[in-house]
Amino acid sequence: MEFVLVRGDMAWCRNDDRCPEWISAEGKIENDTPAKLRKFLGPLGDASLPVVVNSPGGNIRAALEMAWIMRKHKLSIGVGQTRWRTCPVANPTCAVYTPDGARKGEVYTGGAFCSSACTLFFAGGINRVCGQWAWLGVHQARSFDMSAHVEKVGLPADLRKMVIQTIGEMGVDKSLFDISLEAKPNQLRNVSQTEARSLNLTTELATVEDLVAARNCRDNEALATCATRARIPPRK
C-alpha cells in the first residue's frame, strides 16, 4: 500500500485556494504497511486528515495493527480513489510514480473498493463512510499450516479471536465476522450500504467526497450537511 498526501484540486475550491487535504491509501496491505503508515503520519503531527482507501486487502495482522494506528491518531476513513490532475483517466495514480508529478488531485467514489482485510483497517477510522458506488467486501480467510505445509480455510484460533475482539473494540458489530464466513476465500460477499450502517461498519450514510470536504463541523452535524456548507463560496 502506498500513502500519499493529497491537496485537493476540485472546481468548488480551486479558484480561492481553499481545497482540503487528505491521505490517499492505495494498494495491498503487506507485512510492512503498518510501519509505512507510522512513518508517513509522523511528519503530519496532529493533523487529522481523512484517509481515502482503495484496497483489495492483504495481511490480516497488519490490517489489525493499522486499525489501531488509525484510532490512535483519530483519523477518519472513506472508500474512494484519487484522480491526479496530471494523469489520464486510464491511469489515475500515475503522478505517484513520476518524480515531478503534482500531488494535486480530486477524490471520487465510483469503482473504489475496500475488501477482505481492508475492512479491518477501515474499522479503525473514527468516522467511516462508503458511498453507494463504492464497495465493502468480506470473505473467509486462508491460513497456512506450517507443520503440515498445507493451506487451510479459516484462521488460527488466536488470530480469529484477535479479529473478533478488535472489531468489537472499534465499535463494529461482531457479526461482521460471521458474515465473512458466507463467502469462500475465492469469492466476495458485498456488504451493502444499508447493511454496513446497521453493523456500524460505517458511521453514517455519506460519501468519501463528503468526508474530504467537511470541515469545522458543528456538534452532531451530518457529514453531508457539513460538506455542503464547506462547498459554499465565501462572501466577498
Domain ranges of the chain: 2-139+190-231
> Tens of pLDDT along the chain (236 residues)?
999 999 998 989 988 888 999 999 999 999 999 999 999 999 998 889 999 999 999 999 999 999 999 999 999 999 999 998 766 666 666 655 544 444 889 999 999 999 999 999 999 999 999 999 999 999 988 766 656 556 667 788 899 999 999 999 999 999 999 999 898 888 899 999 999 999 999 999 999 999 999 988 898 899 999 999 999 988 77
Question: What is the pTM (predicted TM-score) of this model?
Answer: 0.89
CATH number listed for the domain at residues 2-139+190-231: 3.90.226
pLDDT given for residue 140 in this prediction: 87
DSSP-derived secondary structure for 63-126: HHHHHHHHHHTT--EEE-EEEETTS-TTSTTGGGGSTT---EEEEE-TT-EEETTHHHHHHT-S
DSSP-derived secondary structure for 25-80: EES-B-TTHHHHHHHHHGGGTT--PPEEEEB--B-HHHHHHHHHHHHHTT--EEE-
Number of H helices, E strands in the chain: 9, 12
Distances (CA, A) of 13 to 34, 173, 199: 32, 37, 34
DSSP 235: P
Find, among 12, 13, 14, 40, the residue nearest to 26 by Cα: 40
Provide the grid cell at 136.
465493502
Is 223 within 8 Å of 206 (Cβ atoms)? yes
Q: Which residues pair with 133 in a beta bridge?
A: none
- In this structure, the strands spanning 150-153 and 142-145 are antiparallel
Q: How many CB atoms lie within 10 A of CB 10?
A: 17
pLDDT given for residue 85 in this prediction: 76
For residue 203, give the 3-state DSSP assignment: coil
Give CA–CA dist 228/214, Å, rounded.
Answer: 8
Give CA–CA dist 121/61, Å, rounded.
Answer: 10
